[in-house]
Structures are given as structure tokens and as C-alpha cells.
Amino acid sequence: MKKPKILKEKEIEKEFKKLKGWSFGDDKISKEFKFADFVGSLSFINRMVAHFQEIDHHPDVHIFYSKVKFDLQRFDVGGKVTDRDIEVAHFIEKTYKSENKL
């Protein structure tokens, strides 16, 4: 697997046109997702674990009763946002939409 490419702020902002609701700050991209309850929050995370492991990306995940917040950045490149973080953000969005039938 190739090494992730660090993105500049302009590149991140360009990607946000396709990733609605994500924010950039403190060298990470973040977004919160809402669910009906705790089981929904955990189910969402569990559906993605194998993919995260497969692509060697382990996002910071904050689990609350009915919401999950992701913070994405790569510590192996100095705690910066990379193209792999963007890939993971798209995967999270796709999973959320399919699970919530949006």
C-alpha cells in the first residue's frame, strides 16, 4: 500500500465540496453523525472496522449515546490530513447513507 499524501488546506477545502458537514481544524477533519440510540452508534462503527483495518487507517472515534464523532488525520506523517483521510471520510459517508437510507 502506498504512503498517504499530505494534503494542503486548499486541497482539503476542495474535497469538502463532496463531503458536506465536515470541518477542518487542528490538522484534522471531523464530523459528527446522529443515531436513534447507543446500539445504532455502535452498529455504525462495527460495520466499518474491517475496512479501516484493511486500508491501515484507524480514525479517532468518539462514541456518545446517539452520536459518533470522527477525527481523521495520520500520525505516521506528522499528524496531518492525507488523501487516505479523505478516502475514509467518503467511506464513512457512504456507510452512513446506506445505513440510514438517506
Residue 65, domain extent? 9-100
pLDDT at 102 over 70: no
Reported for 24-30, long-range contacts at CB under 8 A and 24+ positions apart, including other chains, are: 24/81, 27/73, 27/79, 27/80, 27/81, 28/60, 28/71, 28/72, 28/73, 28/79, 28/81, 28/85, 29/71, 29/72, 29/73, 29/81, 29/85, 29/86, 29/89, 30/69, 30/70, 30/71, 30/72
Q: Is residue 63 part of a domain?
A: yes
In-domain check, residue 3:
no
Residue 97's pLDDT band (boundaries 50, 70, 90)?
very high
Mean pLDDT of the 3-31 span = 95
Instruction: Identify whether 4 is part of a domain.
Output: no
pLDDT tens for 31-74 read 999 999 999 999 999 999 999 999 989 999 999 999 999 999 99
Indicate which CATH number applies to the domain containing 51: 3.30.1360.20
Please give the share of the chain, as a percent, with pLDDT higher than 70. 98
Total number of domains constituting the chain = 1
Task: Kindly state whether residue 2 falls inside one of the protein's structural domains.
Answer: no
- pTM (2 decimals)? 0.92
Q: Considering the domain boundaries, does residue 48 fall inside one?
A: yes
